Chains A and B, each alone.
Chain A
Amino acid sequence: MDLFLKYVSQPYLVTGIVYTLLITVLGLAGGTVMGTVLAGMQLSRFRALALLARAYAIIFRGTPLILQMIFCYNALPMIGIKLTAIEAAGLALALNEAPFIAEIIRANIIGVDRGQVAAGQALGMTPAAIMLRVVAPQAIRSMVPALGNEAVSALKNSSLASVVSVQELTLRSTQLASATFDFFSIFFASGLMYLVLTGAIAVIQIVIEVLLDLDGPSPQARLARLLPWKRLPVELPAGPSAAAPEAVTTTTEATSPAPLQPASARAARAPDRRRRAATLANNGLALEINDLGKSYNGRPVLKALNLDVRLGEVVALLGPSGSGKSTLLRCINRLEFWESGTIRVTGRAIDRDETGRALSPRGIAHARAAVGVGMVFQNFNLFGHLTARENVAGPLRWVQGLSRLDADQRAMELLTRVGLAHRADALPRHMSGGQQQRVAIARALAPNPAILLLDEPTSALDPELVSEVLEVIRRLAVEDGLTMLISTHQISFARDVADWAIFLADGAIVEEGPAEEILTRPQNPRTAQFLQIVAEEEAAG
């Protein structure tokens, strides 16, 4: 025991820790930089880069670190690169860590919900902005545990630097053991030192996880969670968002009526269909689709489709699953590519510039923002790490360049309109589906789009939440005169709100006409059959 205490406190061994940490930090820092580059290459659109990154991973993940250390130390001098022992060991560890860190980064980037990426695209965010604002913040949160693991493993792997004469903890321990024959005391002492170091990494990891935890009520309270003796005096701020997450999900207003503002006189009045149709006929075109054709792996999903939507018009898109409704909507704001035909929104193409040249993903993003196509998705696709307010205000700052103040003001206006001002600070995961979809609508409306595309906005909702969302959409049509193209299975809603209805089957328009007409007296047998099935389902439900 005396010997153990002697070695635990011996300056020679303790200073070995400095070298151990130095190699670890070099390895992790270099590995993170290289890993980020490798992950970027693997995720890139360019196949050659991805192959190169894959080849690197095969070599450096597939050979032992000890060989890489010896290679960097003894083989590099033969081609004129003579590194010091510490540099060589640091380089080898970085080369070795890079593919592992790259896979952690890649897995967590892929793990971020694809729908959120689509939502970012639909809002006109550039690929870089989506990566920076949407993907990275969520990926980084979820990769902390894996990176903590990797840091511990790098620290232990640094002991292999002893083979290239770096005076780190392991080398110092073995030399000391040889000189004194006190093997066990020395190895226990250095083992304890390694435990203290890896323990420190674990503590750092916990601190980072707590600080990044979105469910933490406030930065102060998050810190307090790390200091148990300070936990008691911290008061939780008032408001539903401050309650524990479990409590929030159960106390959401899902069961209580949504506090929508009372409808305006105009919205409450039944629409005069004939007059409305006459006005619309004089309006300019919001959307022109000509001969649109698209196929997946040679199977056609859209066949020479033609469609015009006038400004202020509400068009209901009906049809069975797989009929091409979603694909059509996604084509309109270029979330999908198509093979033939043209799509113009307020006279402009999103996929090409004036000279007819295909746009880059970045160029498409700018075109989307300039033209103004809003999109509401079946699965809401709110940015999971942002509050309701930020989901609306964020894109306004990033795409439209609004100031924080203006963006927040606009967000609160819209959240008030959809009846969710009181949930402005709530995270999506603490809101009911209906609330999330209303926030998503507010987000899509924020930049004043020329046309709003709604892709089955109520299909993912529990039946009791459908009406609150439909009511919001109905008011947009009536109060704002917003141009909307909406795919839905809600026949009565479509009959009530839409001016025009289109029945789509197998990628082609089977029947179209005034909504009331088609939905009450369909001419095509397929339309009739579809309407009957949906009506039966509604009755059964």
Chain B
Amino acid sequence: MNRTGSGCSRLLRKAWLGMMVTGQLAVATVVFSAALPVTPAKAAAPEACAALQAKYPALKGKTLVNAVNPHTPGYEALDPNDPSKYIGFDIDLGEAIGDCLGFSLTYKPVTFAALLTTLEAGQADIVISDIYATKDRAKAADFVTYLKVFDGVLVAKGNPKKITGINTSMCGAVAAENTGYVEVPLIQALEADCKAAGKPAPEIQLYDNNANCIQAILSGRADTYINDANTVDGAVKAYPDKLEKATAVTLPYSVGIAVPRGKTDFRDAVMAALSEIQKSGMQAELMKKWNLPEDQIEAPKLVLAD
């Protein structure tokens, strides 16, 4: 258990649960498109947020752009019942941070590799899109982390290549990955071990969203797709007869919110709001709502370039 900041009172928690019901109903009824700003119910914000709004008045009433790669059901994807909406844990978390600081969000769908370039070009203000905060990526953006990373190894049913993780079991196998994913260099690094074992190096096919990677396994073009465990679980759930999760892998990273470098006020505000949301138990609730394991939660920390 890594839950931290559980300083909320039972009373507050009960009140929150009640509010969740109303909040979800409100979210379900509000029809919003990517082009229109969203004004979620103010009731969802923890009390401490009032102080934060006083401390960071510049954000109040603003409409910010959140760049997402909406191909990750559970984190960010279209609502199949109302495709004009994006739904998922990341979307809810972003809305909660916005509620807390008094800004609203619109969404800009881009490829995974374009998330940080869009932020750098000023075409987006924030990125909350299941992106792992690595030192390399911190050269392009500052990160505030909110989850630990658990990866799953997605394979065809029966795991015909007997893949057991990012190790020599992958020699000669074909891995589908998205351009820019942290798993790519990890798999590439296996080449030396594979050579030493007298086996061919793993091959990587690069796509630009989860759906294409999953299709690559379904169509037999790739043997495995290693990505966020929840995404892998979602794929297995969608194709229980064709896919399975071979194993879980722990990676030494955290999932982070990316904000433009140098905008320290905004970064501090996001981090403070995230802390409050965690403390109030709201993040845990949201994770439960989206079936994310609770032990993935992690106290916010900064990942910055050296």
Chain A interface residues (CB < 8 Å from chain B): 10, 12-13, 70, 73-75, 77-78, 82, 85, 163-165, 167, 171-172, 174-181, 183
Least CB distance from B90 to A in Å reads 14
Is A75 in contact with B121, judged by CB distance below 8 angstroms? yes
Chain B residues with Cβ below 8 Å from A183 are 211, 215
Segment at the A interface, from B75-83, B131-139, B147-155: B75-83
Contacts of A177 in B (CB 8 A): 211
Q: How far is the CB of B275 from chain A (nearest CB, A)?
A: 30
**Across the interface, do A178 and B210 meet the contact criterion of CB distance under 8 Å?**
yes
Contact A78:B211 (CB < 8 A) given known A167-B34, A178-B78, A181-B238: no
Pairs A–B under 8 Å by Cβ, sample size 14: A70-B114, A75-B121, A165-B110, A165-B118, A167-B109, A174-B211, A175-B77, A175-B78, A178-B77, A179-B70, A179-B73, A179-B80, A181-B214, A181-B238
Q: How far is the CB of B71 from the nearest CB of chain A, in Å?
A: 4
Q: What B residues does A167 contact at CB under 8 A?
A: 34-35, 109
Q: Is the CB of A179 within 8 A of B35?
A: no
A77 to B123, Cβ gap below 8 A? yes
**In the complex, what's the smallest C-beta–C-beta distance from B69 to chain A, in angstroms?**
9
Q: Top 7 A-B pairs ranked by shortest CB distance? A: A12-B83, A178-B71, A179-B77, A74-B121, A178-B211, A179-B78, A181-B238
B123 touches A73 (CB 8 A): yes
Chain B interface residue count, CB cutoff 8 Å, equals 32
Instruction: Give, as a whole number of angstroms, the nearest-CB distance from A490 to chain B.
Output: 75
Which residues of chain B from 82 to 121 have a CB within 8 Å of any chain A CB?
83-84, 108-111, 114, 117-118, 120-121
Q: Which of B83, B117, B122, B235 contacts A82 (CB 8 A)?
A: B122
B71, B84, B110 — most chain A CB neighbours (10 Å)? B110
Known A171-B109, A175-B77, A178-B73: A74·B211 in contact at CB below 8 Å = no
| Contacting residues, chain A, for B239 (C-beta < 8 A) | 181
Contacts of A73 in B (CB 8 A): 121, 123
Smallest Cβ distance from A519 to chain B, in angstroms?
83
Determine whether B53 belongs to the interface, using a CB cutoff of 8 Å to chain A: no
Q: How far is the CA of A179 from the CA of B76 in the complex (A)?
A: 9
Whether A165 and B70, one on each chain, are in contact in the complex, defined by CB atoms closer than 8 angstroms, is no
Given A165-B110, A167-B35, A172–B123 Cβ distance below 8 Å? no
Nearest CB of chain A from residue B187's CB, rounded to whole Å: 22
Option from A12, A74, A176 in Cβ contact (under 8 Å) with B118: A74
Contact partners of A178 in chain B: CB under 8 A: 70-73, 77-78, 209-211
Contacts of A176 in B (CB 8 A): 78, 80, 83
In the bound complex, residues from chain A placing their C-beta under 8 Å from that of B120 are: 74
How far does the Cβ of A62 sit from chain B's closest Cβ, in whole Å?
A: 23
What CA separation (Å) do A181 and B231 show in the bound complex? 12
Q: Which single member of A74, A77, A172 contacts B83 (CB below 8 Å)? A: A172
Across the interface, do A10 and B215 meet the contact criterion of CB distance under 8 Å?
Answer: no
A174 to B111, CA, bound (A): 11
Interface pair A175/B122, CB less than 8 Å apart: no
CB distance from B84 to the nearest CB of A (A): 6
B279 to chain A, nearest CB (A): 32
B134-170 at interface with A (beta carbon < 8 Å): none
Give CA–CA (A176, B71) in the complex, Å.
8
Q: How far is the CB of A447 from chain B (nearest CB, A)?
A: 62
